[in-house]
Amino acid sequence: MAREITYLDAIREALREEMKRDPQVFVLGEDVGVYGGAFGITKGLQEEFGEYRCLDMPISESCIIGVSVGASLRGFRPVAEMQFGDFITCGFDQIVNQAATLRYRYGGRVACPIVVRAPVGGNVAGGLYHSQNPESWFVHRPGLKVVAPSTAWDAKGLLKAAIRDNNPVIYLEHKYLYRRAKGPVPEGDEIVPIGEAAVRREGADVTLVTYGAMVMASLEAAERLSKEGVETEVIDLRSLSPWDKTAVLASLEKTNRMLVVHEDVKTLGLGAEISAVAMEERFEHLDAPVMRVTYPDSHCPFSAVLERENLPNADKIVDALRKLAAY
């Protein structure tokens, strides 16, 4: 049975259910205990599960992730919260040189089942240090899985899948969606498999590949363009590493045109990889060049007005879809 809850509440519900299901699951991070987290996601968990399973940590991302890696080697399943995804760089060594390589270094004899939750993204007037999208840093690294839910349903289901996975998972939760994305979420144990995309809207003219907060803008653009007779198929990747190449290429074979939309900067973003794969493996199906709508290769301004000017939006997506449809 499903009921309507927010993206934020879905994340909290997944944490609580997994902590109840498995005593080896615990949460750690800055202010996650007494305060309940910067955004209130872990509110009530310390009261319910105790201070050793909802663990307040010092302001040291390298410590938080390092403790998580060590605990995973002792059979625990830590869920580490970065207060803001921008500061995940302070724990970069522990993620890319330790967590990502453990199974390889030990010939598969050990696992590293950690989840690193990272609030990411802009359009919240967060300025330079609270608005970044770091996914391209991590999808480039073998040994890591990266997910980015766009709906409340997936926020819960993907987090459950990540916690149960024996590999380190970077869980990118978009701050803009916390209270704006509200929808049906099942009660109980509904898992969203890592690596499977979702077709959010069917169409025969253009394939639009996106994820995270850009799904909302992409669906708006697709509905607007439908009134002009262009039907866009919107694919929500949900999982960025591994990404669902089968679903994306199957859609391209049907529409023969592709647009990739993401909030990360353009150069060497995930859109570049998807575009390259499309051209390498389905060149004969392309009736137009693969196009991208992204954030420019720039930092996020402190001015909310300037930030909105830089962000991808429905107007920019509509313009790109029109160009593709005209080929």
Confirm whether 167 is domain-assigned: yes
Instruction: Round to whole Å and give the CA distance between 186 and 288.
Output: 40
Same domain, 34 and 97: yes
- Residue 1 banded pLDDT, cuts 50, 70, 90: confident
SS3 74: coil
Which residue range(s) make up the domain with 182?
2-186
Q: What is the pLDDT of residues 94-117, one digit of tens each?
A: 999 999 999 999 999 999 999 999
Question: What integer pLDDT is reported at residue 2 of this predicted model?
Answer: 84
Looking up residue 206, the CATH number of its domain turns out to be: 3.40.50.920
Phi, psi of 172 (to 5 degrees): -95, 110
Same domain, 173 and 261: no
Instruction: Round to whole Å and give the CA distance between 119 and 105.
Output: 30
DSSP state letters, 222-290:
HHHHHTTT--EEEEE--EEES--HHHHHHHHHHHS-EEEEEEEESTTSHHHHHHHHHHHHSGGG-SS--
Identify the domain boundary among 186, 220, 253. Answer: 186
Same domain, 29 and 151: yes
The share of the chain scoring above pLDDT 70, in percent, equals 100
Looking up residue 52, the CATH number of its domain turns out to be: 3.40.50.970
- Residue partners of 229: CB distance under 8 A and separation at least 6: none
Same domain, 118 and 160: yes
- Residue 128 banded pLDDT, cuts 50, 70, 90: confident
Q: What is the pLDDT of residues 164-181, one digit of tens each?
A: 999 999 999 999 999 999
Same domain, 172 and 291: no
Identify the domain boundary among 159, 186, 213. Answer: 186
Asked if 116 contacts 68 with a C-beta cutoff of 8 angstroms, the reply is yes
Confirm whether 192 is domain-assigned: no
Question: What integer pLDDT is reported at residue 126 of this predicted model?
Answer: 86
Question: What integer pLDDT is reported at residue 125 of this predicted model?
Answer: 86
Identify the domain boundary among 118, 153, 186. Answer: 186
Same domain, 182 and 204: no
Same domain, 227 and 178: no
Instruction: Round to whole Å and give the CA distance between 168 and 96.
Output: 10
Question: What integer pLDDT is reported at residue 175 of this predicted model?
Answer: 97
Confirm whether 216 is domain-assigned: yes
Same domain, 224 and 137: no
The share of the chain scoring above pLDDT 90, in percent, equals 96
Same domain, 260 and 174: no
* In the predicted structure, residue 188 carries a pLDDT above the cut 90: no
Confirm whether 191 is domain-assigned: no
Question: Catalytic positions, please?
Answer: 130
Q: Over the chain, what is the mean pLDDT?
A: 97
Question: Taking the CB of residue 281, how many other CB atoms lie within 10 A of it?
Answer: 12
Same domain, 182 and 37: yes
Asked if 312 contacts 302 with a C-beta cutoff of 8 angstroms, the reply is no
Give the chain's domain count.
Answer: 2
Same domain, 300 and 154: no
Same domain, 174 and 230: no
